[in-house]
Amino acid sequence: MNLVLLGLNHKTAPVALREKVAGLLTDLDTAYQDLQNQPALAELVLYATCNRVEGVCATAEPDAAINQIRAFFVSHDISEGDLDASLYTHQDRDAVQHLFRVAASLDSLVIGEPQILGQIKEAYRQATRNRATGPILNRLLHKTFSVAKRVRRETGIGGHAVSISYAAVTLGRKIFGSLAGKTAVLVGAGEMAELALEHLKSDGIGRIIVANRTLERGLQLAQRFGGEAVSLEELADQLLHADIIISSTGSPQHLLTRDQVKGAMRRRKYRPLFFIDIAVPRDLDPAINDLDNVYLYNIDDLKEVVEFNWQRRQQEAVKAERLVAAETVKFLEWLQTLEVFPTIIALKEKADRICEAELEKTLKQLPPLTEEQRQSLEVLTQSITQKLLHDPIIFLKGYHHPQRPTRELDTVRRLFNLDLDRDTELTEED
- Give catalytic status of residue 57 as yes or no: no
CB 388 within 8 A of CB 375: no
- Cα separation of 320 and 117, whole Å? 15
Classify the phi-psi angles of 236: left when phi > 0, otherwise alpha if psi is within -120 to 50, otherwise beta. alpha
Q: What share of the chain is helix, strand, coil (3-state, %, to 5)?
A: 60, 15, 25
CB 32 within 8 A of CB 130: yes
Q: Which of 15, 50, 380, 384 is catalytic?
A: 50
DSSP string, 304-315: HHHHHHHHHHHH
- Cα separation of 422 and 315, whole Å? 54
Q: What's the angle, vertex CA 74, arms to CA 73 and CA 78, rounded to 5? A: 105
- Cα separation of 385 and 103, whole Å? 46
- Cα separation of 9 and 19, whole Å? 11
In 3D space, the residue among 390, 402, 414 whose CA is nearest the CA of residue 333 turns out to be 402
In 3D space, the residue among 407, 409, 400, 428 whose CA is nearest the CA of residue 346 turns out to be 409
Residues with catalytic function: 50
